[in-house]
Amino acid sequence: MTAKLSPAERQTNIIGLIIERGSLHVEELAEQCGVSLMTLYRDLAVLESRQITTRRRGHVSLLVSSISEAPFSFRLGQEWERKVAVARVAAQLVSQAATVFFDDSTTGYAAIDHIDEPAAKAFITNSMPAARRIAEGEYQSLTLIGGHLVRQLDATFGAGAISQVRELAFETALIGAASIKAGAIYHPFGEVAAFKRELISHVDVPILVATMSKIDRIALHRMGDISDFAHLVIDDSISDQVFNEFSSQTNVIVVSPEKGQNHVRAD
């Protein structure tokens, strides 16, 4: 007997099918998922409320595209083992820093639990989930950047956030990206890209954290180049060709979640 899936598992399956097929009619989607139309509509209502899927004339498609980004809560559940492996190594890289910035990256968020001696560090973030997570533990100080709250990302951006970044000095930052293509870093939202450009230019040691799923993904707004970062920490599904390409631009650290947190390959 096939085990009954939880709503979260069903919704993940729905997203996977749509990513694979591009768009599906509700009847075909219900058949593929092995659920009734009533159950499917309940799951779609959840996904639509989280701005992940959209329906038009009975066809369901992914709302996330080159002009949109998945909500933080959804990204948090994707590739979690790979993100944690990358996060552990990224946390080691910032171990000697007194000031650390976390942006809205879920991989950066995962690094919070692995920071050495957090009570001796000053943390800065524009991410609401990161601020809450840091506040639950030890810290010397915690600064939450204000600005325009982008609800989908649960983080602040805009002119106010950029102005505050310009007034602060911090040693290092863990920064995520929605897309890495041809050596450049992109994001679907213009105000997010603008904020991250400013952040990269004001931090001594910017660190890019990513998984291979971000490679060659399409997004509209350029936020910088790989060469702008002191390090790129990425999972081991990276190909040798991409590794060699990126290694000519920055220090690349490849992390294997299967071989343990300390199994890394650097250029």
Taking only the tens place, the pLDDT of each residue in 65-90 is: 555 677 787 788 778 889 999 999 99
Asked if 130 and 102 touch (Cβ cutoff 8 Å), the reply is yes
List the CATH code of the domain at 73-255. 3.40.50.1360
CA distance linking residue 235 with residue 198, whole number of Å: 26
DSSP 80-103: HHHHHHHHHHHHHHTTT-SEEEE-
Shortest CA distance to 128 belongs to which of 95, 107, 100, 150?
Answer: 150
> Residue 261: pLDDT band by 50, 70, 90 thresholds?
very low
Tell me the two tokens of residue 226. Answer: 């790989």
Domain with CATH 3.40.50.1360 in the chain: 73-255
Q: What is the pLDDT of residues 24-67, one digit of tens each?
A: 899 999 999 999 999 999 999 988 887 678 888 899 987 655 55
Q: Helices then strands (H, E): number in the chain?
A: 10, 16
The beta strand positions in 121-260, using DSSP E, are 122-125, 141-144, 148-150, 155-157, 170-175, 179-181, 184-187, 203-210, 221-225, 231-235, 251-255
Domain with CATH 1.10.10.10 in the chain: 7-63
Give yes or no for residue 1 having a pLDDT over 50: no
Give yes or no for residue 102 having a pLDDT over 70: yes
Give yes or no for residue 168 having a pLDDT over 80: yes
Asked if 233 and 265 touch (Cβ cutoff 8 Å), the reply is no
Residue 48: per-residue pLDDT: 86
Asked if 251 and 231 touch (Cβ cutoff 8 Å), the reply is yes
The CATH fold of domain 7-63: Arc Repressor Mutant, subunit A (1.10.10)
Q: Is the pTM of this model over 0.85?
A: no
Give yes or no for residue 2 having a pLDDT over 60: no
Tell me the two tokens of residue 87. Answer: 């996060």
| Beta bridge pairs of residue 95 | none
Per-residue pLDDT averaged across 161-182, rounded? 94
